[in-house]
């Protein structure tokens, strides 16, 4: 029978790039203590990267050497594995939509799961639990707009909405208006104001 470390490595290599390997998903190979020990051993040998408590990822081997998987791939894989909604933070959304020129220094994502950190080599990804309304329309432009506006706050939201009205496809702006009732009062009010006469759609 193959050694536990070899079995775990074979399992990790069969997963899509960036997919986290959690100790509790390997209990069919051995008991928890043995699995934890084997994972630690693989991390010491740099055959796996410790991404968080009891969570590891397989490094990517390229012609430039060995590196950690990309943050995007790891986050996407984590979301499909855990069933959580995970989306870029409001700061990142505001940058993508051109509402700020500030590029977020840290990798921060909002999640329907618990707040925690994931290390990918030298990069630390912060996963922050967010209220349901901030995760609405997860990977759509209207959802990005909601997160960007939440990050900008009440003072800047109205001006930003005029920009969004011009920039977003008309369908996406209509989606934003449609979810307004689920948003906090200040944001719902700003969206309503922008929809009814505050500026024109190009």
pLDDT value, residue 122 = 87
pLDDT value, residue 202 = 37
Question: Are the beta carbons of 35 and 4 closer than 8 angstroms?
Answer: yes
* 116-169 confidence digits (pLDDT tens): 999 998 889 999 999 999 999 998 999 999 999 999 999 999 999 999 999 998
* H helix runs in 14-140, sequence order: 32-44, 71-82, 90-96
Question: Are the beta carbons of 59 and 113 closer than 8 angstroms?
Answer: no
Q: Which residues contact 46 (CB under 8 A, 6 or more apart)?
A: 59, 66
pLDDT value, residue 81 = 85
Mean pLDDT of the chain: 91
Using the predicted structure, report yes or no on whether residue 5 has a pLDDT greater than 50: yes
Confidence band, pLDDT 50/70/90 cuts, at residue 87: very high
What is the reported pTM?
0.82
Count Cβ atoms below 10 Å from residue 178 Cβ, excluding itself: 13
Using the predicted structure, report yes or no on whether residue 173 has a pLDDT greater than 70: yes
* 181-200 confidence digits (pLDDT tens): 999 999 999 999 999 865 44
Using the predicted structure, report yes or no on whether residue 74 has a pLDDT greater than 70: yes
């Amino acid at each position: 029978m193959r050694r536990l470390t070899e079995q775990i490595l074979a399992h990790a290599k069969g997963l899509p790039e960036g997919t986290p390997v959690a100790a509790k998903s390997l209990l069919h190979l051995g008991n928890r203590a043995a699995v934890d020990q084997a994972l630690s051993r693989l991390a010491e040998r740099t055959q796996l990267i410790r991404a968080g408590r009891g969570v590891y990822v397989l490094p990517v081997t390229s012609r430039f050497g060995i590196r950690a998987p990309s943050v995007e791939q790891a986050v996407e894989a984590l979301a499909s594995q855990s069933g959580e909604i995970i989306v870029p933070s409001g700061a990142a959304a505001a940058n993508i939509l051109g509402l700020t020129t500030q590029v977020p220094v840290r990798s921060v994502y909002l999640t329907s799961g618990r707040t925690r950190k994931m290390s990918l080599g030298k990069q630390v990804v912060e996963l922050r639990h967010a209220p349901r309304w901030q995760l609405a329309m997860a990977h759509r432009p209207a959802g990005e707009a909601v997160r960007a506006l939440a990050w900008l706050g009440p003072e800047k939201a109205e001006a930003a909405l005029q920009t969004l009205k011009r920039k977003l496809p008309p369908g996406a702006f209509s989606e934003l208006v449609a979810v307004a009732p689920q948003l906090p009062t200040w944001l719902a009010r700003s969206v309503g104001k922008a929809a009814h006469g505050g500026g024109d759609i190009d």
